[in-house]
Every structure is written in structure tokens, then in C-alpha cells.
Structure 1
Amino acid sequence: MSAIWLAGQGLTQSECTVDFPRPERLVNGNPERQTYSLYEHPHMDCGIWHCEAGAWNIVFADNKQEFFNVIEGLVRLHHKHSNITIEIGAGDAGIIPPGFEGTFEVVQAVKKYYVIVEV
């Protein structure tokens, strides 16, 4: 696993939580998702996320957004309303803005740093 260092405290640690997309949102496969929430603060959560190949529909609330940086693998984000698809691979970063609706597709097993902000 990659690491996140917290200023003044050192290396962060977390237990792994495992989940799967809700059946009604599945588009392809049933990928296992592993989340290491390594820092939580009011209205913010960040950590490392692993996921197998697959795809599911997502709907972000108007007060929620995510920044992420792909460490390994490849994902595609398909926007529901504009039919625009973007690919984000190792070394690239992406943002899922508030109110985004579309499909999150893991093309190659992915590992990413994530920061989720709710305001």
C-alpha cells in the first residue's frame, strides 16, 4: 500500500473496508472495492482506494466532490448528460464535481489517492 503522511503526526494507518457497488447501479461486473480511509476531518475524507475492473453508475450530491490521483491502473468517467468520456491513468488526476451523474468504469484494476470534500 502507498502511504499518506500527516504533518505533526507521522504515517497514517487504517483498516481496510471492503464493499461492492449496489446491484441497482451495476453496469459491468461486480468489482470488489477496498478503501483505506487514512484521514478524516469534518467535511473531508482522504485515503487510498483499490478496485477491480467493472463499472457502475454514480450520482454525486450537490454538496460533495472528489479529487483523486491514479497510482496504478486506468479508469473512465462517462458523463450521463453530455456523453463526454475521460480516461485517467497512472500519474494522472481527476475531479468529480458536485452534482456529477454518470458511470465510473475501472478498465484496469486501479489504486488511487482520493480526497472527498462535502460542504
Structure 2
Amino acid sequence: MSYIIPINRDGLSTETLTSCAVVPPEGILSGKAVEQGAVHASSGKVTIGTWECTPYAEILAYPAATEYATVLSGQVAITDDDGTVHTFGAGDSYVLKSGFSGHFEVLETLRKIYVLIED
């Protein structure tokens, strides 16, 4: 068994992206979230994966988790509760700290690698 999981520039390891439903329908503000994803590793309170989604907007809250993400392609705008908008594109990374609440809007079909750490 190998303890190394290679992930290529497209955010894929040995698997392909498959249809998933991470976005809760009741949180969607506009658009339709057509999602695909792959989990590369999951252990205890940590999940590492790749997620892709078409343009949409939602209310997003992380009351008990922190997410680190690197955008591989596309563009996303994340708005804090105070109204500050942060836009991220290919090559950018961000951290949503535990307790985050705001809006998450995929502006162009987004693909990202993420690490989700539950409190």
C-alpha cells in the first residue's frame, strides 16, 4: 500500500470526478449547482478532495469546520457577512475559517482542490 497520492494539475488522482450533491438546495440564491467531485483522502475530521461546479450562488456557513482551497480553474466570489467581496481565480488559494458565514458565488465553472477540517 502506498502512502503517496499523486494529484495532477487537473485535481485528479487515480479516480475521475463523479456526480455529487454537496450544495444544499435550500441555500441556493441563484443558478443551478451541477456538481462533480472526488475524495482523495478522508480520515477522522479531515477530508481532501477535488470539487467542480457550474455557476450558482448560495448562502454558505462553516460553523464548525475550516476549509483551505486552491482554485484550479474558473472563478468564485466569496462575500463576508460584512459585505466584503473576495474574488479568486486559477492559482489563488483561500481559507474559510471556522465560524465563517456569508455568500459563495461561482462566477465561472469552478474546479478546486480542498482540505476540510472539522472542529
Bin for the TM-score computed over the shorter chain? 0.7 to 0.9
Deviations 1:40-64 (A, max 9, x none): 1111000111000111111112x30
CA distance in structure 2 between the partners assigned to 1:52 and 1:108 by the alignment: 7
Instruction: Note the residue ranges of structure 2 that are not aligned, 5 or more in a row.
Output: 7-12
**Could you tell me which residue of structure 2 aligns to residue 38 of structure 1?**
40
Matches within 5 A, 1:1-119: 8-11=3-6, 12-14=13-15, 16-19=18-21, 21-61=23-63, 63-80=64-81, 82-119=82-119
Q: 1:30 to 1:56 in 2, by over 3 A?
A: same
Specify the SS of the correspondent of 2:26: helix
Query: How far is the alpha carbon of 1:25 from its aligned partner?
Result: 0.9
Give the fraction of aligned pairs with identical amino acids, expressed as a percent.
Answer: 23
| In structure 2, C-alpha distance between the alignment counterparts of 1:37 and 1:88, rounded to whole Å | 22
Unaligned runs of 5+ in 1: 1-6
Aligned residues: 111
| Conserved 8 A contact 1:44-1:117 | yes
SS of 1:31 mapped into structure 2: coil
Question: What per-residue deviation string (whole Å, max 9, x for no partner) do you get for residues 70-93 of structure 1?
Answer: 00000010112x111100100000
Change (3 A) 1:84 1:41: same
